[in-house]
Amino acid sequence: MQLLRVKDVERELGISRTTIWRLVKAGAFPPPLRITSKAIA
């Protein structure tokens, strides 16, 4: 399994951060995982 940071997902898919969070809320995108106390992927 590969974890991507939000910036990487934005760049790879060409969508905005807001769109990513909307998709997560709608259940159409996997939720973020906390990888450290200050970072999520």
* pLDDT tens, position by position, 8-29: 999 999 999 999 999 999 999 9
CA–CA separation, 27 vs 36, rounded Å?
A: 24
Give pLDDT, residue 37: 92
Asked if 2 and 9 count as a contact pair (C-beta separation under 8 A), the reply is no
pTM value is 0.75
Q: How far is 10 from 7, CA to CA, in rounded Å?
A: 5
- In which band, very low, low, confident or very high, does the pLDDT at 1 lie, cut at 50, 70 and 90? confident
Contacts of 19 (CB under 8 A, 6+ apart): none
